[in-house]
Structure 1
Amino acid sequence: MKVMGHRGARHEAPENTLPSIARALEAGAEAIEVDVQPTRDGALVVIHDETLERTTDGAGRVDAHTLAELRALDAGDGAQVPTLAEVLELCRGRAELFVELKAPGCEARVVQAIQAADQVEACFVKSFVHPWLLTVKALEPALRTACLLYGRPVDPAAVARAAKAEVFSVGIALLDPDLVERCHAGGVQVCTWNCNDPDAAGRYRDLGVDYLGSDTPTAVCAALGQV
């Protein structure tokens, strides 16, 4: 089981920033999850919300601002809003990267950014909007994808296969042995979010979870001996 730093290490450093991602990598996380939004001038930045207020000192929609304007903001503790290219470089050779699509029309640009970084084999593209994943697969068949779902389907592997996804990702409250078994029987890996209790981490490893998301990767990696 690989620990996946959720937005880096969002309970240890400002989420979706380079310091947060670096913190997760230093903790021993073998995967990192980030979110991508487009800027007004066509760049890709790593930020979860479509608006700026929650995680920066800015205001308004992310896509109403240029990259230069966004770079001038404080994303927490003096950190900048990073670009996807910067995150790809930081994770290079150190961890797999899960990139969540948060806005429509970004599929081609995200694929191109991953290709330009020569990191197709190290990345996953994930989304709740499964048609976006089909677009990603059409653009780059070698790029792995993860389908997100809020609910608990009867046949999760079938849902993943319909999206041409290698990974089924579900909230931790919906995780159970049957779901993991059904996914693995169908050749699909399981990702779950988020385990912030280090005492519980071993239980998910025993269940056979492939990727365990965590906002507190330092404690979770330590509990699992993955430091």
Structure 2
Amino acid sequence: MKFVGHRGARHEAPENTLAGIEHALAAGVDAIEIDVHLAASGEVVVIHDFTLERTTDGEGPVVAKTLAELQQLDAGGGERIPTLSEVLERVRGRCELFVEIKALAIEEAVVDVIRGADQVGECFVKAFDHRVVQRVKELEPALRACCLMVGRPVDPVGIVRAAGGDVLSLGISFLDADLVAACHAGGVEVCAWNCNDPGEVQGYRAMGLDWLCTDRPAELRGS
């Protein structure tokens, strides 16, 4: 089972920042998960929310700000909002990267950045809207893609395959060994979010889970 630092290490460092990513890397994660939006000036930027208020000292929609405006903001502890390009360079050769696309119609921009960095083989793209997954696979079939879900699917393999994806990602409360086994039988990997209790790790490992997301990678990595 591989560990994924959720938004870097959001309970141990400012989320979706280079400091958080370095913290997760130092903890020995196998992958890091980030979220992306498009700035008004066209760059793919790393931030979870559609608006700035929760994680920065700015206000308003992310998409209404240029990169220059966004990078003047404090994203926690003096950190700045990074671009996807900056994050890719930071993780290059050190861990894999799950890139969650939060908004529609930015798939091409995201794929172009990943392809331009020559890191297609190091990345997954994920989304709750499975049309995003489908579009990403059309643009770059070699890029692995992950279908996010809330709830327990009746046909987990069918859902992922219908979108052309490779991985099913769902909350840990919907996870059990039967679901993992069914996915594996259909050639689909399983990623679950978010586990922050070291005492639960062995149970997920025993299920055969492929990827476990955590907000506390430094605490869980040794479990």
TM bin, normalised by shorter chain, reads over 0.9
Structure 2 length-normalised TM: 0.99
For 2:39 and 2:165, locate their aligned partners in 1 and report how far apart those are by CA, in whole Å: 27
SS class of match (2:90): helix
Can you list the C-alpha shifts for 1:164-209, whole angstroms capped at 9, x where unaligned? 1110000011001111011001000000000100111111111111
Q: Which residue in the other structure is 2:56 paired with? A: 56
For 2:22 and 2:201, locate their aligned partners in 1 and report how far apart those are by CA, in whole Å: 21
Q: Could you tell me how far 1:154 is from its partner in structure 2?
A: 1.3
Q: Could you tell me how far 1:104 is from its partner in structure 2?
A: 1.1
Q: How many residues align?
A: 223
Q: Which residue in the other structure is 2:35 paired with? A: 35
SS class of match (2:36): strand
Q: Which residue in the other structure is 2:180 paired with? A: 180
Q: Could you tell me how far 1:155 is from its partner in structure 2?
A: 1.5
Equivalences for residues 193-208 of structure 1 within 5 A:
193-208=193-208
SS class of match (1:126): strand
Letter in 1 for 2:115: Q
Identity of aligned residues (%): 60
Gaps of at least 5 residues in structure 2 are: none
For 1:129 and 1:110, locate their aligned partners in 2 and report how far apart those are by CA, in whole Å: 15
Most deviating of 197-206 and 184-193: 197-206
Consecutive aligned runs of 4 or more in structure 1 exceeding 2 Å deviation: none
Structure 1 length-normalised TM: 0.97
Is 1:152 aligned to 2:142, yes or no?
Answer: no
Q: Which residue in the other structure is 1:111 paired with? A: 111
SS class of match (1:100): strand
Q: Which residue in the other structure is 2:5 paired with? A: 5
The CA RMSD over aligned residues, in Å, is 0.6
For 2:159 and 2:178, locate their aligned partners in 1 and report how far apart those are by CA, in whole Å: 15
Q: Could you tell me how far 1:128 is from its partner in structure 2?
A: 0.5
For 2:199 and 2:24, locate their aligned partners in 1 and report how far apart those are by CA, in whole Å: 18
Q: Could you tell me how far 1:33 is from its partner in structure 2?
A: 0.2
For 1:207 and 1:183, locate their aligned partners in 2 and report how far apart those are by CA, in whole Å: 12
Letter in 2 for 1:211: W
For 1:185 and 1:134, locate their aligned partners in 2 and report how far apart those are by CA, in whole Å: 22
